[in-house]
Each structure stands twice: as C-alpha cells, then as structure tokens.
Amino acid sequence: MANLLYVDNSNVWIEGMHVAAFAHGNAPDVWTAVQNKICDYNWKLDFGKLFQFAGGDRSDVKKAALFGSRPPKNDSLWDAARRNGFDVITYDRNVANHEKKIDTDIVATMIEDSFTLADPATDEITLVSGDADYVPAVEKLKNRGFKVYVVFWGHAAKELKAAASEFINLDPHLDHLAR
C-alpha cells in the first residue's frame, strides 16, 4: 500500500503553535490560545518528523506535497521541506497579505491525483489539515474507495474528523514533531 500525503503548512504550523502555547502553560486551553492568537513562537515543526509520522517510510510514500505561501527570499523553510521529501507548492499572498489558493489547490490536487496517480485498491490518502473546507473532498475520495486519514491537532473541525476514514490526533506528539 502506498500513501499520498498532502500538508497545509500554515494550518499545521500555526495551530501547532497554539497547541504548544497551551502545553507550555501560556494559555489555559487550546481554544483560548486559538481565539486570542496566543502562540508559542519557540515551537518549530520538523518536516522530516512530520513526513515520517504522517506518511510513513519514504518507500511507502508515492507523493508528499506541502502547500503554503511564498516565503521571503532569505527563508530556508521550504528548502528544509524539500530536503525532507516534500514537493513544495507555494502561492503569493494577496494584497491584504492573506493566504489564497492553498486549500483549493490541495483539494484539486488530491482529486486529480486520485485519478492520475493513485489506485483506491492499493493506495491511501493522508491529509494534514484541520479545516472543515476539506470535508467534501474527503467524502468524494472515500466514495471512490480510498481510505482517507486526517492527521491534525485535536481541535480539528468535528465534521472533518467525522468524514475521515480515521482521524489521528497530533497533540500527544507535539514534542516529537518539534525541531
């Protein structure tokens, strides 16, 4: 069985900083950290550990794609992701400095790959994100016969957890996934 891995970088990283803020005593609970934008900026995501945790052995991963906003020219984040096995897809932020096109491209790529790269009889799909926006894509992939794992922090959207073939909570692995 091969795995196709799709990661929403900003989603997993920013929400991870909220979980870290709670875990390290900077917020009374994760929801307070999220609502009040309390982050532990010392917590950094290790892409190699995320790849291994969510994707498995490299030989079992047919595709690993990391989606996010185009970083400043001096940022080494995406190079680190590439070195750790990810194809990196970036988009410019809009004029208001908001991320655009990320969720849509993840959905479009998962669906496209399900027809061109994957076989529901032998492959499984892993999504690392927590937005309810992914529910229709997860449901469509499951209807095509794919097992779809959602790997994310415990406060992922309830609808996405329910839609997944299996939800895997990253919260207990916070320290393991850190650089």
Tell me the pLDDT tens digit for each residue of 89-146.
877 777 776 777 889 999 999 999 999 999 999 999 999 999 999 999 999 999 999 9
The verdict on residue 134 lying in a domain is: yes
**29-38, 61-70, 78-87, 88-97: range with highest mean pLDDT:** 29-38
Is 141 part of a structural domain of the chain?
yes
The domain that holds 94 is classified in CATH as: 3.40.50.1010
On whether residue 37 sits in a domain, the answer given is: no
Write the pLDDT tens digit of every residue in 137-177. 999 999 999 999 999 999 999 999 999 999 999 999 999 99
Q: What is the pLDDT of residue 76?
A: 64
Separation of alpha carbons 83 and 64, rounded Å: 12
- In angstroms, the CA 125 to CA 140 distance is 12
Structurally, the chain folds into a number of domains equal to 1
Q: Report the alpha-carbon distance of residue 13 to residue 19 in Å, rounded.
A: 10
Q: What share of the chain is helix, strand, coil (3-state, %, to 5)?
A: 40, 20, 35
Residue 145 located in a structural domain: yes
Q: Helix, strand or coil for residue 35?
A: helix
- Separation CA 9–CA 47 (nearest Å): 10
The reply to whether 70 falls in a domain is yes
Residue 40 predicted with pLDDT over 80: yes
What lies within 8 Å, CB to CB, of 105 at 6+ separation is 67, 89, 91
Residue 143 lies in a domain: yes
Q: Would strands 87-91 and 61-69 be described as parallel, antiparallel, or unpaired?
A: parallel
Higher pLDDT, 55 or 124: 124
* Predicted pLDDT at 125: 97
Tell whether 41 is covered by a domain: no
- Quote the pTM value: 0.91
Structural domain span for residue 128: 2-9+49-173
* Residue 20 covered by a domain: no
